Amino acid sequence: MNTRWCMVALMIAALGGTVASARPSNGRNCSTCHTGGSLGLDIPEVVGFDGYADPDETLTGATNRGLLKVFTVMPGQSIDLSARVDLGTFLNNAFAIELKRMETIGVEHGGSLGFTADADWNLQIGVENVDPTRPYYTLPDVDGIFFTAPTTFTFSMLVDPATPPDYYDLEFAVAGQPGEFYGDEHFYLRVIPEPATIALLATGLVAIGVRSRTGSRNARAGQ
């Protein structure tokens, strides 16, 4: 009898662990398994951003997401991308957070985002749903974080000096328990030209203007 009850207890514990756990390493698209919606909560909530932007996707044909929060950085600089997770009264439920779409091109000019990732986050390509062409980053690695209080997660990245100015459409996502919940929020990382580049462009435009005016005067003089 004691052995039987021990086995039952172990089964209950195992089931409880399964229900409470999160599996961020399984694959990039959490919503494939987590179909329970966002629990009516604003999760995740992108915070610490610099403003809002609605770029023009006409040239690239990228998805028009309208007005989104935006972080702004210059090539060669570091930037903190942050999102807050608050499950409200759903205490001691497990979740995981991911940052994805780092491989997508810029929405205005088709630029490629080069960066050095935050070493505290885990690079994933999926264990069950493998996709090496679309890597993503998670906290934690293979298990879940038990919710006890609102928490802000920050992905600190260094933007490569060669990254072209553009708007990059990135996404934070959160999935877990209860109810196999899932939520996400898109935002833009805007890479802007360095001051030296802006000055060089301005100098070039001035030179073009001077040549244009000189050419016009010479043309009129020859009439």
Distance from C-alpha of 109 to C-alpha of 121, rounded to nearest angstrom:
29
Q: What is the mean pLDDT of the chain?
A: 84
d(CA 71, CA 53): 9
The residue among 87, 100, 82 whose CA lies nearest residue 177 is 87
Quick one: residue 126, left, alpha or beta (phi over 0 = left, psi -120 to 50 = alpha)? left
**How many residues does this entry show for the chain?**
223
Q: Does any domain span residue 5?
A: no
Whose CA is closest to 191, among 48, 44, 50?
Answer: 50
Number of domains making up the chain: 1
How confident is residue 65, by pLDDT bands cut at 50, 70 and 90? very high
pLDDT surpassing 80 at residue 3: no
Long-range contacts of 7-14 (CB under 8 A, 24+ apart): none
Taking 60 as the threshold, does the pLDDT of residue 215 lie above it? no
Segment 7-12 shows an average pLDDT of: 34
* pTM for the model: 0.79
Structural Rg of the chain based on CA atoms: 24
Kindly report, residue by residue over 142-153, the tens digit of the pLDDT: 889 999 999 999
Residue 110 pLDDT exceeds 90: yes
Give strand ranges (E) for the chain: 45-47, 51-53, 68-73, 78-85, 94-100, 115-116, 122-124, 136-139, 145-146, 151-159, 166-176, 181-191
Q: Is residue 159 part of a domain?
A: yes
Instruction: Determine which of 14-23, 65-74, 184-193 has the lowest per-residue pLDDT on average.
Output: 14-23
Mark 71-110 as b/e (b = at least 16 C-beta within 10 Å). Answer: bbbbbeeebebbbbbebeebeebbbbbbbbbbebbbbbee
Has residue 4 been placed in a domain?
no
Confidence class of residue 7 from pLDDT cuts 50, 70 and 90? very low
Q: In what order do the strands lie in the sheet with 45-47?
A: 45-47, 78-85, 151-159, 115-116
Highest mean pLDDT: which range of 126-130, 154-158, 207-211: 154-158
- Residues 161-201 have pLDDT tens digits of 999 999 999 999 999 988 889 999 999 999 999 875 554 45
220 lies in a domain? no
Instruction: Look at residue 32 and tell me if it is in a domain.
Output: yes
Residue 12: inside a domain, yes or no?
no
Using CA atoms, how far residue 51 sits from 47, 68, 113, 165, in Å, is: 10, 8, 20, 17
CATH number for the domain that contains residue 139 = 2.60.40.10
Which amino acid makes up residue 31?
A: S
Residue 223: inside a domain: no
- Residue 34 pLDDT > 50: yes
Span 46-50, mean pLDDT?
Answer: 99
Q: What is the mean pLDDT of residues 6-14?
A: 35
Tell me if 80 is assigned to some domain: yes
Rounded-to-integer distance, Cα 29 and Cα 136, Å: 10
Residue 123 belongs to domain spanning:
21-210
Q: Give the pLDDT confidence score for residue 18 in this predicted structure.
A: 42
